[in-house]
Amino acid sequence: MEWNKKKIVTIGSGDIDFICKSLGLAGASGTYPCYQCVVPKTEMQKKPKDRKKEYPERKLERLREKHKEFLNAGGNRNNQAEYENVVDDIVVPIEPKKWCPPGLHMTMGGVQRYHGHVRIDVSGLDLDIGNDLAHFHWTVGNSQFDKYISLKKDLIIIEERLLEIDDEIDDLLDDGCDETVPQAQASELFEQLHEEQIILEERKAILESKLAFPKKGTGPLADSLDKALNKFGIERQAYHGSCFVGNHCHKYLQEEVYTGVLDEMVATCKTLTGNPDIIERAEAIKEKYTETFKLYSAVYKMTSHSNYIPETEHTNIQDAIDKFMAHYRKTFPDSSIPLKLHLMEDHMVPWLKEFPFGFGLMGEQGSESVHAQVNRIKRRYAAMKSATKRLHTTIQEQHLKCAPELKGYIPDKKKYKSKKSKKGT
Ligand SMILES: [Zn+2]
């Protein structure tokens, strides 16, 4: 498009769900989850150079073709993968590669994911600390965890007594053979010990059935992570299911914050146990995640602003992304590469080559401010069955709220005269 001899380029922005719906795509969980290219999810897991081939970029024309094929084949969503996950009409006809990678949501997803990994890792240590503390009859002031320690402590007492009984029975048998204890007395003692053994075995079985370790992420080390976050002014949103918001992520990715959080975890570990193996593992978790956050933060700092990014910086950014991805694949071999990381790995720098500004300028951050208004409108149309029509109506109404003068361009609905009024005329 041209205006006043100037080329006008329209770009789109929004979170992944919004972009996918705008293009008629099924979304991030599909077999072909990327809105910019047709890479299958399985291939996304590999480094770009290790993939079977280079996958083509998505284009509006192909999206329309695939949607037509999908409808002609009956429009069954169970078969959507055969049509590259194109399941609906295009709502906002902007070429896929002109939709800005959603930098804010990519960061929020990343911080949420790596913090989640830390919690899972420290949960393993919490279990060992719980078992360790049970030997010393300690509590940590966490009701769920203390209940576990108390049950474990009772279990340890029973297990120790059962071992003693085994020894006493062995001694009794030896004494019986040596005839140092009269036969009648030995039989009576044996029966008493056997009876106690049966009672304790029953109590042990009951305790073991009750001894479920508290839910992952509820132990003292997991608690220490949240307490440390609060110290840095990061209180996770209770109403968003403990999610991080943009401002939290910005704080979290500062070196003094992520190292502070991990230091607090190690310090808490040292106050709870003197077991060198557990402390060494806590130190290893700290080292692993310091590296994860350091590498991720490097990409974040280079891209999540609104300033011009010169071409000379593009190679540095791709290098930082590649370093992070290599670390991620090596450190979390069992974790999949989600769409947000694929967008970072494959599409961030190509976007910068065309639009050389930080993702704070053209990304979805600006549109985040109208979230509340859009959500209010969306609730009004919640009963609409088609997600695409619902989105279309919501966008239309929000657009009219921003520019009410547009109402003048909407043609009036044709008025039909009722039979009654026709008779009267
Ligand atoms: Zn892609």
- Residues 322 and 226 occupy one common structural domain: yes
Residue 142 C-alpha to ligand 1 middle, in angstroms?
A: 45
- Residues 149 and 90 occupy one common structural domain: no
Q: Give a yes or no: residue 412 inside a domain.
A: yes
pLDDT the model gives residue 417: 60
Task: Report d(CA 2, CA 151) in Å as an integer.
Answer: 75
Q: Give a yes or no: residue 138 inside a domain.
A: no
Residue 97 C-alpha to ligand 1 middle, in angstroms?
A: 9
- Residues 300 and 232 occupy one common structural domain: yes
Q: What is the pLDDT of residues 203-213, one digit of tens each?
A: 888 887 877 76
pTM listed for this prediction: 0.74
Q: State the CB neighbour count (10 A cutoff) for residue 36.
A: 22
- Residues 113 and 237 occupy one common structural domain: yes
CB 112 within 8 A of CB 243: yes
Comparing 47-56, 171-180, 240-249, 285-294, the range with the smallest average pLDDT is 171-180
* SS3 assignment, position 243: strand
Q: Give a yes or no: residue 126 inside a domain.
A: no
Token digits for 281?
């593992």
Residue 264 C-alpha to ligand 1 middle, in angstroms?
A: 38
- Residues 353 and 226 occupy one common structural domain: yes
- Name which of 376, 378, 404, 372 is nearest 391 in CA terms: 378
Q: Which H or E run includes 387? A: helix 387-402
User: Which of the pair, 409 or 93, is modelled with greater confidence?
Assistant: 93
Q: What is the pLDDT of residues 213-251, one digit of tens each?
A: 666 667 889 889 989 999 998 887 655 556 788 888 999
Residue 258 C-alpha to ligand 1 middle, in angstroms?
A: 30
* SS3 assignment, position 60: helix
- Residues 318 and 381 occupy one common structural domain: no
Q: Give a yes or no: residue 135 inside a domain.
A: no
Q: What is the pLDDT of residues 20-77, one digit of tens each?
A: 999 999 988 889 999 999 999 999 999 999 999 999 999 999 999 999 999 999 988 8
- Residues 199 and 305 occupy one common structural domain: no
Token digits for 274?
């003197």
CB 254 within 8 A of CB 177: no
Residue 35 C-alpha to ligand 1 middle, in angstroms?
A: 6
Out of 36, 64, 99, pick the residue that ends a domain: 99
Residue 338 C-alpha to ligand 1 middle, in angstroms?
A: 11
* SS3 assignment, position 74: coil
- Residues 158 and 79 occupy one common structural domain: no
pLDDT the model gives residue 253: 95
Q: Give a yes or no: residue 263 inside a domain.
A: yes
Q: How many domains does the chain have?
A: 4
Range of the domain at 168: 143-210
Give the mean pLDDT of the chain: 86
Residue 341 C-alpha to ligand 1 middle, in angstroms?
A: 10
Residue 31 C-alpha to ligand 1 middle, in angstroms?
A: 12
Out of 68, 99, 130, pick the residue that ends a domain: 99
Q: Give a yes or no: residue 376 inside a domain.
A: yes
Which amino acid belongs to residue 44? M
- Residues 384 and 356 occupy one common structural domain: no
Q: Go through 79-117 and write b for each residue having 16 or more CB atoms within 10 A of its CB, e for each that does not.
A: ebeebbbbbbbbbbebbbbbbbbbbbbbbbbbbbbbbeb
Q: Give a yes or no: residue 128 inside a domain.
A: no
User: Which of the pair, 179 or 62, is modelled with greater confidence?
Assistant: 62
- Residues 113 and 258 occupy one common structural domain: yes
Q: What is the pLDDT of residues 297-334, one digit of tens each?
A: 999 999 998 899 999 999 999 999 999 999 999 999 98
The percent of residues in the chain predicted with pLDDT above 70, rounded, is 90
- Residues 247 and 112 occupy one common structural domain: yes
Q: Give a yes or no: residue 131 inside a domain.
A: no
Token digits for 127?
């279990």
